[in-house]
Chain A
């Protein structure tokens, strides 16, 4: 479904992604782990279409060339990004924002727009996934939200947008264990054979709740190791030291427990 080949990204002289390859099949959940500065967030933004990067390589979604598309076209194609730092938009009602977002992609896909009443039903169902109260919709987008509320709002948006591919960038950062449980519950409820996910995280902790089909280790702009969820457990015990400051071909032998598709 998603095919990434030799993806490079740089800002000015600084190259951040140095030839990243990844294939994600329909319905699969892939975790991407890596130390600070390895390029995890840049990878997410490269998929979502953030401007300001020099991008090379190939990225296709269901065969369509993603790199040719604007961020809003990618959203219409089914890409959703859960932001590490969700942006505040003062004065814009959360419900209005959500409905505008949904209707924007519906319009772009040639589907009928959804009316206020029908949307409320959609929003209510989505809110129950992340255990949100009704008044949440009446507040301004992320303005004055706690860290946990912002992240829950991201998952709420994902539930409303029903994306083909969700890229969740450090959705677990800044969450206490209860909030983490709620958010993971929401994400798991949204898993489906038609929906793929890329979960970016520093910590194995999140993967106890969202069990990935594949785990990839991203170091210095490349995926240096891929495996199943046991790879995450290994990282938990040993950290990234095995991969950092080491040439790729010097990496220790470790059984590959599953191949990336």
Chain B
């Protein structure tokens, strides 16, 4: 029964997406000549000024970008992660291209057969497949009302949800107050780069006492179509508000840009709650690791008094993943959570984890990390639990489980713990296991194929994290994991 319900949700969602896309096509038209508008490769102050000017930004934002650029020029790429990365030529990248519509295809027959096969395996409905591949669709008349209802109910609740560029124009004070308040421009090399050149992203504002009436997922999945390689997201939840936000998509995502450096900032004010879920399936490269996406992400939230920030991530894509969604537990009794499934197969390398910075009294953090390594994948959990002197009675529970499939892969667990207050209670549990021959044999004796058995065992391993995902995505994430593991058996 629940499966049916999920399919219905997905269908109505895809209808919304189609509608949104169609609408956007009309909005921008196809006749504009923005296409030719591409900055020459290389990064310097002029490029930063160009980006800001193209986006018609206020002076303060240009200054902010320039300070970030200046900081970036004085920084070095971090080299502490357990990642082998070919050198990145930052001067070979073009940092500005005008937004453009993806080419519209006539039918699904024009879509890469490999991608189509993946869609089918993931069980993505045809309408959504078309939307994701930008195949022309006939807009269904009555679905106009779906989009309208969606926008109307957000507006009625007072929730602002728009592209970052729109927010800069329409809500400059809100952006100015919070931008960089959690991830300062000098935070790290990739955050500085992003701050200097970010293209677009999302902005979300939940007013006091408002419980956002829906998961902010559908909308984002439309927005994510052309956000580019330097994406910026800012979510502000005012006192006593609540929002669940979902980014990404289980469908395979290809991109001509190899380097991606996104920044996400969350601000949860007193008693507010932000739940942020990610499904990341960027192109991982071929079996030799050629062509995959390099994903350097800075994600951090600040939790004020009695606030709660929860990160859930399912990372199956990208050649390189460098990502540590973190929570600054600033207010007393604030809560931080991190639930992660990271899969490294083929030649993929993931160095991912979290930072929980306890500042307020009676703050609590929970870390559940499930790393899966297959083929020649390398998976590292790197986490920091830091308890400041002020954080009386801080508590942390960390559980890091690694699963190895095969003999050429690797799993590494690197937990850092710094406790400056003696009342802190910190628990760390770690395990490394393999999918046992015994488990596979047991399942096969009960009639399951080896691949079905493997998929079941691995999904069981990730259960605690999948339980944290919104229902509809939990189902897709399970399929995604199974598909990603195909061919890793034996």
| A contacts, CB < 8 Å to B | 48-52, 70-72, 74-76, 79-81, 83, 86-87, 89-92, 97, 100-102, 104-105, 108, 116, 140-141, 157, 161
Instruction: Tell me how far the C-beta of B79 lies from the nearest C-beta in chain A, rounded to whole angstroms.
Output: 36
Other A-B pairs beyond A51-B437, A75-B446, A102-B447, 7, CB < 8 Å: A49-B445, A90-B460, A91-B460, A91-B464, A101-B446, A101-B447, A161-B446
The 4 A-B residue pairs with the shortest CB-CB distance, nearest first, are A91-B460, A91-B463, A92-B460, A101-B446
Inter-chain CA distance A102–B452, complex, in Å, is 13
Write the chain B residue with the least CB distance to A92.
B460
Cβ B448 vs Cβ A50 within 8 A: no
Closest CB-CB distance, B482 to chain A, in whole Å? 13
- A89-B457 in contact (CB<8A): yes
* Sample (19) of A-B pairs whose CB atoms are under 8 Å apart: A48-B445, A49-B444, A51-B437, A51-B441, A71-B441, A76-B447, A81-B445, A86-B442, A87-B438, A89-B439, A90-B463, A92-B460, A92-B463, A100-B448, A100-B452, A100-B456, A101-B443, A101-B446, A116-B1
CB-defined contacts of A108 to chain B, threshold 8 Å: 447
Give the shortest distance, in Å, between B11 (CB) and chain A (any CB).
21
Q: Are A75 and B463 in contact (CB under 8 A)?
A: no
B397 lies within 8 A of chain A by Cβ: no
CA A37 – CA B452 in complex, angstroms? 33
Taken together as a complex, chains A and B put the C-alpha atoms of A75 and B448 apart, in Å, by 9
Does A105 lie within 8 Å of B441, measured CB to CB? no
Distance to closest chain A CB from B337 (angstroms): 19
Q: Is B181 an interface residue (CB 8 A)?
A: no
A102 and B447 alpha carbons, distance in the complex (Å): 7
Judge if B175 is at the interface, Cβ distance under 8 Å: no
Q: Cβ of A83 and Cβ of B442 under 8 Å apart?
A: yes
Residues of A within 8 A of B460 (CB): 89-92, 140-141
Shortest distance in angstroms between A84's beta carbon and chain B's nearest beta carbon? Answer: 12
Q: How far is A140 from B461 in the complex, measured between Cα atoms in Å?
A: 11
Q: Which of B440-472 touch A at CB < 8 Å? A: 441-450, 452, 456-457, 459-464
**B58 in the interface (beta carbon within 8 A):** no
Chain B hits for A140, CB < 8 A:
460, 463
Q: Given the complex of chains A and B, what is the CA–CA distance between A79 and B446 in angstroms? A: 9
Is B448's CB under 8 angstroms from A101's CB?
yes
B447 touches A105 (CB 8 A): yes
Residues of B within 8 A of A71 (CB): 441, 444-445
When chains A and B are docked, how far (Å) is the Cα of A141 from the Cα of B442? 11
Tally of A-B Cβ pairs under 8 angstroms = 80
Residue in B439, B445, B461, B462 whose CB lies within 8 Å of A75:
B445
User: How far, in whole Å, are A236 and B132 apart by their CA atoms in the complex?
Assistant: 71
Whether the Cβ atoms of B448 and A89 lie closer than 8 Å is: no
Min C-beta distance of B445 to chain A, whole Å: 5
Chain B residues touching A, majority SS: helix
Residue of A with least CB distance to B456:
A92
Interface: B487 (CB within 8 A) = no
Tell me whether B446 and A157 are in contact (CB under 8 A): yes
- Nearest CB of chain A from residue B99's CB, rounded to whole Å: 43
Nearest chain A CB to B73's CB is how many angstroms away?
48
Task: Given A90-B460, A92-B459, answer yes or no on A104-B442 (Cβ-Cβ < 8 Å).
Answer: no
Residue of A nearest to B441 (CB): A50
**Contact with B447, one of A51, A72, A116 (Cβ below 8 angstroms):** A72
From residue A227, how far is it (CB to closest CB) to chain B in Å? 30
Q: Is B436 an interface residue (CB 8 A)?
A: yes
Whether A75 lies near B442 (C-beta < 8 A) is no
| Cβ of A213 to closest chain B Cβ, rounded Å | 25
Closest chain A residue to B442, Cβ basis: A87
CA distance A70 to B441 in the complex (A): 10
A50 to B443, CA, bound (A): 11
Which residues of chain B come closer than 8 Å to A89, judged between CB atoms?
439, 442-443, 456-457, 460
Q: Whole-angstrom distance between the alpha carbons of A5 and B400 in the complex?
A: 50
Determine the chain B residues whose CB is within 8 A of the CB of A50 once the complex forms: 441
Chain B residue nearest in CB terms to A160: B446
Contact assessment for A72 and B436 in the assembled complex, using a CB-CB cutoff below 8 Å? no
Q: Which residues from B are CB-within-8-Å of A70?
A: 444
- Collect the chain A residues with CB atoms within 8 Å of residue B462's CB: 91
- Chain A residues within an 8 Å CB radius of B448: 72, 100-101, 104
Q: Is the CB of B456 within 8 A of A97?
A: yes
- In Å, the complex CA distance between A141 and B453 comes to 13
A90 and B461 contact, CB distance less than 8 A: yes
**Quick check: A104 and B456 within 8 Å, CB to CB?**
no
What's the Cα separation between A141 and B445 when bound, in Å?
15
Nearest CB in chain B to that of A141: its residue: B460
User: A75: shortest Cβ distance to chain B, in Å?
Assistant: 4
Within 8 Å CB of B456, what residues of A? 89, 92, 97, 100
Known contacts A87-B436, A87-B439; decide if A72 and B464 are in contact (CB<8 Å): no
- The distance in angstroms between the C-alpha atoms of A76 and B463, with both chains bound, is 28
Please, which residues of chain A bring their CB within 8 A of the CB of B439?
Answer: 87, 89
Q: Which residue of B lies closest to A75 (CB)?
A: B447
Bound: A102/B446 CA distance, A: 8
Alpha-carbon distance A102/B459, docked complex (angstroms): 19
A residues less than 8 Å from B461 (CB atoms) = 90-91
Q: How far is the CA of A90 from the CA of B449 in the complex (A)?
A: 19
Q: Which residue of B lies closest to A85 (CB)?
A: B438
Decide: B449 and A104 in contact? CB cutoff 8 A: yes
Shortest distance from the beta carbon of B369 to any chain A beta carbon, whole Å: 15
Q: Which of B246-270 contact A (CB under 8 A)?
A: none
Distance in angstroms from B460 CB to nearest chain A CB is 3
Residues in A whose Cβ lies below 8 Å from that of B459: 91-92
A51 vs B442: C-alpha distance when bound (angstroms)? 12
Interface centre among B438, B446, B452 (most CB of A within 10 A): B446
Q: Which residues from chain A contact B443 at a C-beta distance below 8 Å?
A: 89, 97, 101
Contacts of A101 in B (CB 8 A): 443, 446-448
Write the nearest CB–CB distance from A85 to chain B, whole angstroms: 8
Kindly report which residue of chain B lies nearest to residue A142, judged by CB atoms.
B442
Q: How far is the CA of A70 from the CA of B453 in the complex (A)?
A: 14
Are B446 and A104 in contact, with the CB atoms below 8 A? yes
Taken together as a complex, chains A and B put the C-alpha atoms of A72 and B444 apart, in Å, by 5
Are B463 and A72 neighbours in the complex by a CB distance under 8 Å? no
Chain B stretch 125-143: residues in CB contact (< 8 A) with chain A: none
Closest to A167 in B: B445
Q: Which residue of A lies closest to B467 (CB)?
A: A91
B452 to chain A, nearest CB (A): 7
Interface flags for B331-348 (1: CB within 8 Å of A; 0: not) read 000000000000000000
Map CB proximity to A onto B267-295 as digits: 1 under 8 Å, 0 otherwise: 00000000000000000000000000000
Expressed in whole angstroms, the minimum distance between the Cβ of B432 and any Cβ of chain A is 14
Residues in chain B near residue A100, CB distance under 8 A = 448, 452, 456
Beta-carbon contacts under 8 Å, B1-34 to A: 1
A87 to B464, CA, bound (A): 20
